């Protein structure tokens, strides 16, 4: 069964099943949203039809029951994804530019291009203020400009376009509200890169004897216990989407790597795999544990920056030096590949410019040189 994200236009309070093929996540499972608020949302939808956009939604619900905190939780959970503007075709919209809600196509549905939740969050104050003003005017019996408009136009406003959240922020929002990663997995963004580091996916593991195995996964559970000598050790459950693996981290190893063994953190582990006599499955004994930054530095051969003729403009070398400088004194070599129609060249920077290839460095290089300009070779 496929699990569908919570959705104010389709979900009920509890989980529901559709055609024995999909489970709709219940709105009642979204942390931070009260039962009264959810009942009001469902009642409005059943009486007046699906919500058209964020402005229509805020106008039709009881904002005293669904307060700002609850609305933010619904956005982070993905429950309002249907209510934002569709990704605009054509030129990219600049951050902060407003987009009319009518630009969203009618019937925008789950499974289409993902709506920018950051834009929904940035527009929330405006939508709430419009709704509150309409409620006040209606209570006062005022005949303002909104009252003269057609019902389907009455909630129309403008969305404030904002750079989308990165995968980490989006997935963390889902984990903290519905409690599950629903639109991806934290390992997804590193999957291609991890292929150059790991020796096996969890689903492919077999007892390894004395052979060292390298796997990567998300820490989804952990328990600690005292050994007979009074030292602490841990049993950690890793998940790499292909399967789960129990990892035994004995006292000396646990003492050395305990700061990395945190729930919901992605780690790379070296160790040996054996048969679990109790469960009949497999288990792994850890010898080394890395976070993604440490794994890159330990296993990477080089960081490669690819530039074309249009990117290497005046001042670029100085800008690149400023980006690299805070990450120097690492172990990873840097190679620049320059391309133009009639020639290509490669330059490996000197030992003084070896770097620590952290996520932050890769982000800064991408901002400077553009998407797909940097890669790690293993």
The predicted-structure confidence for 82-116, as pLDDT tens digits, reads as follows: 999 876 544 444 444 444 454 443 333 333 446 79
Q: Is residue 233 part of a domain?
A: yes
Q: Is residue 95 part of a domain?
A: yes
Instruction: Please give the average per-residue pLDDT across 335-348, as a whole number.
Output: 91
pLDDT recorded at residue 46: 96
Q: Is residue 343 part of a domain?
A: yes
Instruction: Please give the average per-residue pLDDT across 216-244, as a whole number.
Output: 94
pLDDT recorded at residue 142: 60
CATH number of the domain within which 279 lies: 2.40.50.140
Of 276, 267, 255, 5, which is closest to residue 114 (Cα–Cα)?
A: 5
Q: Taking a C-beta distance cutoff of 8 angstroms, is the pair 306, 337 a contact?
A: yes
H helical segments located in the chain: 35-48, 54-60, 68-77, 117-140, 167-176, 191-194, 251-257, 292-299, 316-324, 359-369
Instruction: Please give the average per-residue pLDDT across 162-171, as a whole number.
Output: 90
Q: How far is CA 64 from the centre of its chain?
A: 30
* Domain coverage including residue 135: 2-176
Of 268, 288, 140, 289, which is closest to residue 196 (Cα–Cα)?
A: 268
Q: Answer whether residue 197 shows pLDDT above 60.
A: yes
Q: Is residue 324 part of a domain?
A: yes
Backbone angles phi, psi at 244, to 5 degrees: -125, 150
User: Do residues 160 and 71 both lie within one domain?
Assistant: yes
Of 242, 293, 284, which is closest to residue 265 (Cα–Cα)?
A: 293
pLDDT recorded at residue 262: 94
Q: Is residue 181 part of a domain?
A: no
Q: Answer whether residue 58 shows pLDDT above 90.
A: yes
Cα separation, 311 vs 374, in Å, equals 13
The residue count for the chain: 378
Q: Taking a C-beta distance cutoff of 8 angstroms, is the pair 42, 27 a contact?
A: yes
Q: Is 250 helix (H, G, I), strand (E, B) or coil?
A: coil
User: Do residues 14 and 69 both lie within one domain?
Assistant: yes
Q: Answer whether residue 249 shows pLDDT above 70.
A: yes
Domain finish residue from 122, 146, 176: 176
Q: Answer whether residue 266 shows pLDDT above 70.
A: yes
User: Do residues 335 and 365 both lie within one domain?
Assistant: yes
pLDDT recorded at residue 10: 93
Cα separation, 9 vs 108, in Å, equals 11
Q: Is residue 36 part of a domain?
A: yes
Distances in Å between the Cα of 233 and the Cα atoms of 205, 225, 310, 362 are 23, 6, 54, 34
Cα separation, 251 vs 286, in Å, equals 11
User: Do residues 112 and 258 both lie within one domain?
Assistant: no
Q: Answer whether residue 260 shows pLDDT above 70.
A: yes
User: Do residues 229 and 371 both lie within one domain?
Assistant: no
Q: Is residue 67 part of a domain?
A: yes
User: Do residues 163 and 29 both lie within one domain?
Assistant: yes
User: Do residues 195 and 332 both lie within one domain?
Assistant: no
Q: Is residue 183 part of a domain?
A: no
Q: How many domains does the chain have?
A: 3
User: Do residues 7 and 153 both lie within one domain?
Assistant: yes
Percent residues over pLDDT 70 in the chain: 88
β-sheet with 16-18: strand ranges across: 2-4, 22-24, 16-18
pLDDT recorded at residue 254: 96
User: Do residues 45 and 160 both lie within one domain?
Assistant: yes
Confidence grade of residue 143 (pLDDT, cut at 50, 70, 90): low
Domain finish residue from 292, 326, 347: 292
User: Do residues 17 and 56 both lie within one domain?
Assistant: yes
Q: Answer whether residue 123 shows pLDDT above 90.
A: yes
User: Do residues 20 and 149 both lie within one domain?
Assistant: yes
- Tens digits of residue pLDDT in 275-304: 887 777 888 999 999 999 999 999 999 999
Helix axes 359-369, 316-324, angle to 10 degrees: 170
Read out DSSP for 164-229? PPPHHHHHHHHHHTTSS--S--TTGGGHHHHTTT-S--GGG----TT--EEEEEEEEEEEEEE-TT
pLDDT recorded at residue 144: 55
User: Do residues 25 and 160 both lie within one domain?
Assistant: yes
Q: Within a 10 A sphere around the Cβ of 318, how many other Cβ atoms? A: 9
Percent residues over pLDDT 90 in the chain: 65
Instruction: Please give the average per-residue pLDDT across 22-39, as a whole number.
Output: 93
């Amino acid at each position: 069964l496929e699990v569908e994200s919570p959705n104010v236009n389709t979900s009920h309070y509890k989980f529901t099943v559709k055609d024995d093929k999909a489970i709709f996540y219940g709105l009642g499972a979204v942390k931070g949203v009260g039962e009264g608020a959810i009942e009001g949302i469902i009642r409005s939808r059943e009486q007046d039809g699906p919500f058209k956009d964020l402005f229509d939604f805020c106008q039709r619900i009881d904002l005293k029951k669904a307060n700002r905190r609850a609305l933010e939780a619904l956005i982070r959970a993905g429950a309002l994804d249907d209510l934002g503007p569709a990704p605009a075709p054509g030129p990219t919209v600049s951050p902060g530019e407003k987009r009319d809600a009518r630009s969203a196509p009618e019937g925008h549905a789950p499974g289409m291009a993902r709506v920018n939740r950051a834009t929904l969050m940035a527009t929330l104050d405006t939508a709430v203020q419009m709704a509150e003003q309409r409620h006040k005017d209606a209570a006062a019996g005022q005949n303002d400009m909104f009252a003269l408009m057609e019902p389907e136009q009455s909630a129309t406003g403008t969305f404030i376009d904002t750079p989308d959240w990165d995968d980490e922020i989006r997935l963390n929002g889902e984990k903290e509200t519905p409690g599950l990663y629903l639109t991806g997995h934290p390992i997804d963004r590193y999957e291609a890169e991890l292929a150059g580091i790991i020796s096996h996916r969890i689903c492919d593991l077999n007892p390894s004897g004395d052979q060292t195995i390298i796997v990567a996964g998300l820490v989804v559970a952990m328990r600690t216990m005292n050994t007979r000598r009074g030292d602490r050790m841990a049993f950690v459950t890793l998940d790499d989407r292909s399967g789960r693996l129990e990892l035994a981290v004995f006292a000396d190893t646990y003492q050395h790597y305990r700061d990395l063994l945190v729930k919901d953190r992605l780690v790379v582990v070296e160790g040996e795999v054996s048969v679990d006599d109790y469960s009949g499955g497999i288990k792994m004994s850890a010898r080394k544990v890395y976070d993604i930054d440490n794994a890159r530095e330990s296993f990477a051969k080089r960081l490669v920056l690819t530039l074309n003729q249009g990117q290497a403009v005046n001042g670029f070398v100085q800008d690149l030096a400023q980006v690299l400088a805070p990450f120097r004194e690492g172990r990873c070599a840097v190679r620049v590949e320059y391309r133009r129609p009639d020639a290509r060249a490669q330059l490996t920077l000197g030992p003084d410019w070896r770097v620590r290839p952290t996520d932050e460095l890769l982000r800064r290089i991408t901002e400077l040189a553009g998407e797909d300009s940097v890669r790690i070779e293993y």
